[in-house]
Chain A
């Protein structure tokens, strides 16, 4: 492997995270902002799985691989990411439920027009 591919996955995760943050900070639409937040979340999965990868490794499932015959990638990070993917979606749903109510009560989803809580 070249030097670049040694860090590329991490750099991609960082890029995705920062892109999501940028989108969140400059968003003109709360629904779009929630979408950006889920982009940030995706970055954490990429980082976790990249950390757990092992060259030449196979999936840590021994239904058709004899244990010990091949190296396997780290199952722990996969378990962490797997549960978080589903849970992240429900958290997104909760945020969207709040956005729905904001749209109802304020008549807009543009954060620039929400000016009640100040000072």
Chain B
């Protein structure tokens, strides 16, 4: 039983990590990273590491994506003048 849960959690981590790399748009990537954070927290908990899981939940699913989003906001606002006239590098709506 535990074994199955661990295997599933591991596979989810692998999938989420691959997705986080494959998604090239930083906004979407930060959302995938948030999902990865949650999945990692689950994995750590089933690996009997609640301390690390808690840490990962707070950091991986909230703090890091938030910082990434704030950076995107700043960078895109700043870069817009330079990018005007071009298709906005891969993150257009």
Contact = CB atoms under 8 A, between A and B. Distances in A.
Nearest to B44: A49
A29 B51 CA distance: 33
Q: Which of A31, A99, A107 has the most chain B CB within a 10 Å cutoff?
A: A31
- The secondary structure that dominates the B interface is helix
A27 B33 CA distance: 16
A42 B40 contact: yes
Interface in A60-104: 60-61, 72-73, 78-79, 81-82, 85-86, 88-89, 92-93, 96, 99-100, 103-104
- The secondary structure that dominates the A interface is helix
B59 A85 contact: yes
A35 B22 CA distance: 11
Contacts of A9: 6, 10
Interface residues of B, number: 48
Q: Which of A35, A46, A81 has the most chain B CB within a 10 Å cutoff?
A: A35
Interface residues of A, number: 55
Contact of B14 (A15, A88, A109): A15
B17 A107 contact: no
Given A28-B24, A61-B50, A96 B40 contact: no
6 contacts: A9-B6, A12-B10, A22-B21, A45-B40, A46-B43, A89-B60
Interface of B: 3, 6-7, 10-11, 13-14, 17-18, 20-22, 24-26, 29-30, 33, 36, 40, 43-44, 47-52, 55-56, 59-60, 63-64, 67-68, 70-72, 74-75, 78-79, 81-83, 89-90
